[in-house]
Chain A
């Protein structure tokens, strides 16, 4: 009996020793895997405490630059709660870096990053809008980081100077309540002109362009497609007659339409799809004259406490593997990585007419346009 125990203890000890030996031996001969070919995107190998991730870099599917990952990471996330949760959880699982998030709107993020400039609490800003990154860059809140997988992303979905990179794209669309449209005897709107139908008076909901990036996209889309500020504002003025009220939040018009308070809400189509999936009687359509879009991006926070982990997280968000998590948590934005899977609930951008949206120009014009909107349109009587 005793003998048996001793034998078992010895064998366990031997096993343990051999295990440590196994763990130690690669460290003794740590191999730099950078640039070595690999077979499956997203696969992670650890060699000598350095993590190498298999990624599509400029030289094909290879292990990208190794990183010594440790500690924890806090992400400030601008997308839907479960999207943020899925992304951070997957990253933790992959790398062992304990990753948490706080969900904030872009204005709140900029305010908080500014408040804690000297002592940043976040490492990465994930899911923020292009204009938010623009402001953050001007305020010196984000840092340039060009991920090895960045070249995969179409150039128009990323900052030319490398401050941020797009992870998803959302197209502006019409979110209509079928029941209300039927009640009013109006067909599903297919163009910006359709929205001016007098039968839709007080039946359209849009957010206010000062409060909501969505609504500003609507405004700038008019300016772009009609070829100038004046005709753009003129359209908004006509549309004003049919607007019930301007909401503060960008997604609210979809919910208001869903509850039948209005017939049509102007929002990003993926939000409308998400509401429809929740059981609201909604249908999505797009304007034939052309529509605008938003980019949700990812950026490195300046002075991030754990820059290696933050950079690894950004690399991860650009991979098809990470982006494919979107539809699993009811986020149906178009993914920027061309290798990411297309979900049938996503819109195919190629099938839409997209206006030539200039984010730089739009940001520069924002203040003047929203002030004019406030003074000339929002207060105008409805005719």
Chain B
């Protein structure tokens, strides 16, 4: 396909942005991985049972979270679109809450509730389960990440054309047969992309393995250990390269699978009406997991909330406002304002970048689209620690091409804006992939004939994008934006390597409070963070929806 000029310009700009945000810093850090200690890591994959076990753990964790998270997301989306029941709206809102999970808060609350001397496990049930390790990680990661799958699938299911279901039903198919033969195949791109996103995110996550991972070492925590405990950046980089392999494999698999079963359902032609499931038994069965999940979420967040208002949660439950006054009396204000500001700047950039990438990948480029897709996803596929060091190595000085200063110093104390630009860049590249995935899933469902119609009427690629495509993927964009903001506000591990005295970041303050054992302060900080993100998400929702002509696949309808 020949690309028009503007599309070409967009393509070149996008590649330049990706080069700056991810390719350049990662290349720098990957070169480090080829040093002696890094090579030792690679050979240990074959020689050391310890390393092999770590790889197995990583794949096991990623797959479990991917499957469970996608399943829960699917059930919730199915309940929203195909079932009528009381509390539907509330269930929807609760399902979105975990998008805002500040590092540490979730894991700690789960331990307080369900740990060995947990409020529910020991005090109510008389049990003493050991959560540290695989079970704890699965609970925490699945709960924190499933909303992405949910939003992804919800958008798709809303835009599925029910006339196909109707046709099948009128030809005498049972409800379950309609689901297996019609609905499910149409959802495969969404399911595959959800699984990929959850897989990649859970294996690159660091904060949770550190808090609740116990003995269960995964590649991301191994990379962290190499850098933090062994002063060995080369080995850390090497472990991260190994980490990219399972991610890459899953990525290729899902592409292969989703591509073959691609079904277009948004055709622009009129469609029928969804027929809901009425059977009580089926309803009960389908709703049990969503309601169990939302009870867990409520318990966890209420725990975090209460934690900020009592002396030491679970130990001394006396009411106090000390934690909040501690934060507002000095150490917190600056961090709260600056973190919010930086995240607000990064959010639209990340959302738009994700959509443009999706559009280029699905509609515009043929050769190299896999590569482009993968590059866009790299931001979350590498552990934050490694990304952070990559930024520190790359942007802590002026990049020169001969005598010419190509890139000014962006990170570190001496950089312009006190190093704030590097933080915005990290926020952007870490939060655009969710938008990219939901954008791709949404676009794959839309018949290119709509675009072609626009093009044949003389509209350029960009005009078509703006007038036709964008309104159709507004829901996906919304997902991308909300996720970007939540993600930016809760990012921790890469920030550690580029934060400066001028850019105090809330998450690193939370970490300090946890280190000092002041859980009350940490919980209070988390509560503030959750409130801020919820406010911003509602604002984004209003803003994007308000301008929508017709919110076809808007998940927040």
Q: Are A259 and B315 in contact (CB under 8 A)?
A: yes
What residues of chain A lie closer than 8 Å to B518, measured between beta carbons?
278
Query: Chain B's nearest CB lies how many Å from the CB of A362?
Result: 14
Does B221 lie at the interface of the complex (its beta carbon under 8 Å from any beta carbon of A)? yes
Q: Which of B181-214 contact A (CB under 8 A)?
A: 209-211, 213-214
Q: Are A247 and B214 in contact (CB under 8 A)?
A: yes
Whether A152 sits at the interface, judged by CB under 8 Å, is no
Q: Is A127 interfacial (CB-CB < 8 Å)?
A: no
Task: Assess whether A80 is in contact with B214, with CB atoms less than 8 Å apart.
Answer: no
Known: A80-B516, A119-B409, A246-B215. A375 touches B315 (CB 8 A): no
Decide yes or no whether A122 CB sits under 8 A from chain B: yes
A375's nearest neighbour on chain B, judged by CB, is: B50
CB of B133 within 8 A of CB of A248, answer: no
Tell me if B413 is interfacial: C-beta within 8 Å of chain A. Answer: yes
Contact indicator per residue, chain B 108-126, by CB within 8 Å of chain A (1) or not (0)? 0001100111000000000
Instruction: Choose one: A115, A259, A379; the contact of B497 (CB below 8 Å).
Output: A115
Contact across chains for A108 and B214 when beta carbons are under 8 A apart? no
Check if B231 sits within 8 Å of A135, measured CB to CB.
Answer: yes
Task: Give the complex CA separation of A366 and B397 in angstroms.
Answer: 33
Q: How far is the CB of A66 from chain B (nearest CB, A)?
A: 27
Question: Per a CB cutoff under 8 Å, which of A101, A105, A261, A375 touches B501?
Answer: A101
Chain A 64-104, CB-CB to B under 8 Å as 1, else 0, gives 00000000001000001110010000000000000011111
B512 near A374: Cβ-Cβ < 8 Å: no
Q: Which residues of A contact B396 (CB under 8 A)?
A: 115-116, 119, 121
Q: Mark B480-507, 1 if CB is under 8 A from A, else 0.
A: 0000000000000000110111100000
Interface pair A119/B392, CB less than 8 Å apart? no
Choose from A213, A246, A259 the contact partner of B115 (Cβ within 8 Å): A259
A331 to chain B minimum Cβ distance, whole angstroms, is: 9
Q: What residues of B have a CB within 8 angstroms of the CB of A102 in the complex?
A: 413, 499-501
Q: Which of A80, A116, A121, A279 contacts B312 (CB 8 A)?
A: A279
Task: Tell me the residues in window 446-478 of chain B with beta carbons closer than 8 Å to chain A beta carbons.
Answer: none
Contact indicator per residue, chain B 82-110, by CB within 8 Å of chain A (1) or not (0): 00000000000000000000000000000
**CB-based contact A367/B414 at 8 Å:** no
| B501 contacts across to A, CB distance below 8 A | 74, 100-102
Interface segment out of the listed A6-14, A43-51, A249-257: A249-257
> Contacting chain B: which of A31-39, A155-163, A204-212, A226-234?
A204-212
**Contacts of A305-360 to chain B: CB distance below 8 A:** 305, 330
CB distance from B333 to the nearest CB of A (A): 14
- Most chain A CB neighbours (cut-off 10 Å) among B315, B316, B397, B409: B315
A262 surroundings in chain B (CB, below 8 A): 116
Interface mask (B510-524 → A, CB under 8 Å = 1, otherwise 0): 001111111100000
- Least CB separation from A247: chain B residue: B214
Please name all residues of chain B whose beta carbon is closer than 8 Å to the beta carbon of A374 when the two chains form the complex. 50
In this complex, the member of A212, A249, A261 whose beta carbon has the largest number of chain B beta carbons within 10 angstroms is A261
B414 contacts A248, C-beta separation under 8 Å: no
Most A CB within 10 A of own CB, among B229, B393, B508, B514: B229
In the bound complex, what is the Cα–Cα distance between A14 and B477 (angstroms)?
Answer: 69
Q: Is A107 an interface residue (CB 8 A)?
A: yes
Report if B42 contacts A (CB, 8 A): no
Taking the closest CB of chain B, its distance from the CB of A231, in whole angstroms, is: 23
CA separation between A107 and B366, bound complex, in Å?
44
Tell me which residues across on chain A come within 8 A of B112, comparing CB atoms. Answer: 259
Q: Is the CB of B316 within 8 A of A111?
A: no
Given known A-B contacts A116-B397, A121-B412, A211 and B517 have beta carbons under 8 A apart = no
The B506-555 residues at the A interface (CB cut-off 8 A) are: 508-509, 512-519
Q: Does B4 contact A (CB under 8 A)?
A: no
**Contact between chains at B215 and A121 (CB < 8 Å):** no
* Cβ 8 A contact of A248, one of B48, B130, B210, B231: B210
Residues of A with C-beta under 8 A to B412: 116, 119, 121
Q: Which of B214, B225, B314, B414 contacts A259 (CB 8 A)?
A: B314
| Residue interface mask A262-292, B partner, CB < 8 A = 1 | 1000000001001100111100000000000
B513 CB contacts on chain A under 8 angstroms = 81
The B223-242 residues at the A interface (CB cut-off 8 A) are 224-225, 227-231, 233
Pick the most buried of B53, B225, B514, B515: most chain A CB atoms within 10 A of its CB. B515
A29 at the A/B interface (Cβ < 8 Å)? no
**Which 3 pairs show the lowest CB-CB distances between chains A and B?**
A107-B228, A100-B501, A245-B214
Residues of A within 8 A of B (CB): 74, 80-82, 85, 100-108, 110-112, 114-116, 118-119, 121-122, 132, 135, 180, 202, 208, 210-213, 244-249, 251-252, 254-255, 258-262, 271, 274-275, 278-281, 305, 330, 366-367, 370, 374-375, 378-379
Using a CB–CB cutoff of 8 Å, the interface residues on chain B facing chain A are: 48-50, 53, 111-112, 115-117, 130, 132-133, 209-211, 213-215, 221, 224-225, 227-231, 233, 311-312, 314-316, 331, 389, 392-393, 396-397, 409, 412-414, 496-497, 499-502, 508-509, 512-519
